[in-house]
Amino acid sequence: MQRDHLYQGLPFTQHGGANPTSYLKLTRSLFDSLLNFYQLDLSNNNFTDVIQFFEIICSELQQIISQELKNKKCIKIASEMRCHFYKLLVDPVTMQMVRSIESSPDPSFHGKTHAVYLSDSIPSIVNNMAWRMSESVNSFINKQSGWIFERITGFELSIGQFHPLSGSGFKTSNNLLQHIRSDILLSIDNRDPITNQPDGNCFKMSLVAHKMLPRLKRR
């Protein structure tokens, strides 16, 4: 698998022409859904190949991240995957290879934490996640002599609202500007809240902030 390989994903399994299969379930929400956790549904699924796993869930990952970005404007995502391994040893009686050691607890592999600002970056972020975790599994097998990968036993994607620039967040109205410190670094959201398209208000709100917060003149 190449670093720059863009996963296209496999089509979701159709059930009688109805809705596509969903492999990831929203299992927890904190702070009024500002932080959401999606976990892999293993009740009816068994994944025995990491690359194939990401090919299957790629489209769903992109859809989830895209919807979260639309809802929260700016997000930070983290991912964790758990895998089960075992070792084989020679049975001294039968001289056959038998399973002797099982991984317990199953080791975890983490994707890089990403801040997502634009929807255009989502495919490459998902690809980076897949590549990094696949490489981590391979590295574990190579470094821990004798371990054999068997199956994926867990996958979790956490997505939280992200306020860049030291937590200043997006200040988009006069009312909000009245309640911030005069020395704060502003990040003006330049998108219409309904269409999510640039609305040209960034420059206007910057001028308003400049007038309302005189100390900005010296920065």
For 28-76, write each residue's pLDDT tens digit.
888 888 899 999 998 888 999 999 999 999 999 999 999 999 998 888 9
Does 15 have pLDDT greater than 50? no
Tokens of 87: 């070792």
CA distance 161 to 29: 12
For 75-86, write each residue's pLDDT tens digit.
899 999 999 999
Does 137 have pLDDT greater than 80? yes
Mean pLDDT of 158-164: 84
Does 214 have pLDDT greater than 70? no
Supply angle C-alpha 79, 85, 89, rounded to 5. Answer: 165
pLDDT given for residue 219 in this prediction: 40
Q: What is the mean pLDDT of the chain?
A: 76
CA distance 191 to 119: 13
For 187-207, write each residue's pLDDT tens digit.
555 665 556 666 666 666 666
Domain covering 24-162 in this structure, CATH number: 3.30.1490
pLDDT given for residue 166 in this prediction: 44
Sorted by where each begins, the domain ranges of the chain are 24-162, 165-218
Tokens of 101: 């050691």
Helix 50-72 and helix 122-143, axial crossing angle in degrees, nearest 10: 140
Q: Which of 178, 177, 204, 180 is nearest to 190 (CA)?
A: 204
Residue spans of beta strands (DSSP E) within the chain:
24-30, 35-40, 75-90, 97-102, 108-110, 114-116, 148-161
Tokens of 143: 């470094």
CA distance 158 to 155: 10
Greater confidence, 125 or 191? 125
Whether the ω angle into residue 193 lies within 30 degrees of 0, i.e. cis, is: no
DSSP result, 23-69:
-EEEEEEETTTTEEEEEE--SS-----HHHHHHHHHHHHHHHHHHHH
Please give the model's pTM, rounded to 2 decimal places.
0.64
